[in-house]
């Protein structure tokens, strides 16, 4: 079933975004704890908010109106805490210099680490008891950081990610039998893996390196041609069931370079229309975009962001 959504920072939970969201006609709201390299800290902070009255009221009202709420975050550094490196260095990746390091990701050939990862994922699911079955718990936010140990070096970055996501899914299903987990096709994992996904893994396609001045399938734009080169193979590998586009049309954090001061969102309706038509024709069931850095501070400076217009365009292409 088709669905349309937007993702906001957890710090934007409140009346301002609730009003924007309900006016948009969207049916899915993603929450993204901000912070790339400090993702474990921002996720921990968000977990601590689960009993906060404002957060509970916000999520409860959305749920009562049939809105799906989903957590979308780089969770691996929380699921496999870096502090474990001192005791279990073999759980972590080996870099190009043959050194074990806890900088990013992990060693997906280490069964002990994968078992620990599964159990921590089950724990995380129990700490964020939301209303949807779809989970988006990604590996670290880095362009490419595969393990290069003897057992892993023959595996592509996508294969290594697939092994990690399968282990996460095992933990999710221990908590909730119908759970589904995203394989994030992004940066170094944008090519299709060869490792088989377990039942419940779905494709989440996030073309962050694209150009926003041209539609994603504009053959005159070499940047976009390169970014979608693996799209058909991804869809063939994962199938279209539950497939999701994670785009950046509304992501003012990206356009602002992930720092203040904010810029005015360069909303391009023509590109948005063409992109959505393309994605729907490819068979994607769900479409969403980051919508970060569009909170009250943005509105005070630039006016109300075009969230309603974004929602109208998506709903016109259901």
**Which parts of the chain fold into alpha helices (H)?**
15-24, 39-48, 53-64, 76-79, 111-127, 157-175, 222-227, 231-238, 252-255, 269-282, 296-302, 307-316
Of the pLDDT bands very low, low, confident and very high (cuts 50, 70, 90), residue 129 is confident
Categorise residue 34: left if φ over 0, alpha if ψ from -120 to 50, beta otherwise. beta
Angstrom distance (rounded) from CA 113 to CA 82: 12
Angstrom distance (rounded) from CA 113 to CA 278: 40
pLDDT surpasses 70 at 201: yes
Nearest to 100 by CA among 114, 87, 85: 85
Nearest to 32 by CA among 151, 147, 184, 148: 184
Average pLDDT taken over every residue of the chain: 95
Over the stretch 241-269, which tens digit does the pLDDT of each residue have?
A: 999 999 999 999 999 999 989 999 999 99
pLDDT surpasses 70 at 307: yes
Q: Are 137 and 124 in contact (CB under 8 A)?
A: yes
Q: Are 133 and 172 in contact (CB under 8 A)?
A: no
CA-based R_g, the chain, Å = 19
Of the pLDDT bands very low, low, confident and very high (cuts 50, 70, 90), residue 36 is low
Angstrom distance (rounded) from CA 252 to CA 291: 7
Of the pLDDT bands very low, low, confident and very high (cuts 50, 70, 90), residue 37 is low
Question: What is the average per-residue pLDDT within 229-233?
Answer: 98
Q: What is the pLDDT of residue 184?
A: 98
Percent of the chain clearing pLDDT 90 (strictly above):
91
- Give how far Cα 224 sits from Cα of 219, 259, 289, 317, Å: 8, 25, 17, 22
Over the stretch 175-184, which tens digit does the pLDDT of each residue have?
A: 999 999 999 9
Q: What is the pLDDT of residue 293?
A: 96
Q: What is the pLDDT of residue 31?
A: 95
Of the pLDDT bands very low, low, confident and very high (cuts 50, 70, 90), residue 1 is low
Over the stretch 78-100, which tens digit does the pLDDT of each residue have?
A: 999 999 999 999 999 999 999 99
pTM of the full structure: 0.96
pLDDT surpasses 90 at 41: yes
Q: What is the pLDDT of residue 53?
A: 86
Angstrom distance (rounded) from CA 296 to CA 301: 9
Nearest to 94 by CA among 77, 78, 106: 106
């Amino acid at each position: 079933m088709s669905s349309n959504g937007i993702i906001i920072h957890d710090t934007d939970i409140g009346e301002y975004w609730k009003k924007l969201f309900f006016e948009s006609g969207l049916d899915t709201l993603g929450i993204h704890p901000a912070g790339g390299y400090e993702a474990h800290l921002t996720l921990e902070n968000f977990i601590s908010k689960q009993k906060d009255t404002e957060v509970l009221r916000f999520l409860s009202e959305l749920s009562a109106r049939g809105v799906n709420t989903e957590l979308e975050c780089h969770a691996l550094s929380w699921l496999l805490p870096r502090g474990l490196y001192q005791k279990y260095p073999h759980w972590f990746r080996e870099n190009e210099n043959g050194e074990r390091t806890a900088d990013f990701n992990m060693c997906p050939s280490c069964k002990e680490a994968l078992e620990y990862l599964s159990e921590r994922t089950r724990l995380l699911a129990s700490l964020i008891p939301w209303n949807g079955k779809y989970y988006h718990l990604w590996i670290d936010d880095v362009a490419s950081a595969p393990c290069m140990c003897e057992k892993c070096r023959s595996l592509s970055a996508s294969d290594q990610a697939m092994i990690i996501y399968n282990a996460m899914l095992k933990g999710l299903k221990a908590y909730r039998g119908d759970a589904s987990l995203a394989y994030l096709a992004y940066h170094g994992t944008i090519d299709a893996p060869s490792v088989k996904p377990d039942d419940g893994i779905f494709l989440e396609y996030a073309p962050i390196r694209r150009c926003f001045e041209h539609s994603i399938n504009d053959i005159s734009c070499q940047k976009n041609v390169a970014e979608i080169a693996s799209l058909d193979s991804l869809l063939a590998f994962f199938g279209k069931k539950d497939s999701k586009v994670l785009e950046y049309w509304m992501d003012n954090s990206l356009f602002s370079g992930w720092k203040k001061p904010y810029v005015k969102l360069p909303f391009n309706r023509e590109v948005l229309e063409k992109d959505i038509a393309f994605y729907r024709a490819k068979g994607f069931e769900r479409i969403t975009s980051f919508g970060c850095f569009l909170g009250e501070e943005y509105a005070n400076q630039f006016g109300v962001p075009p969230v309603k217009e974004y929602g109208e365009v998506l709903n016109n292409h259901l």
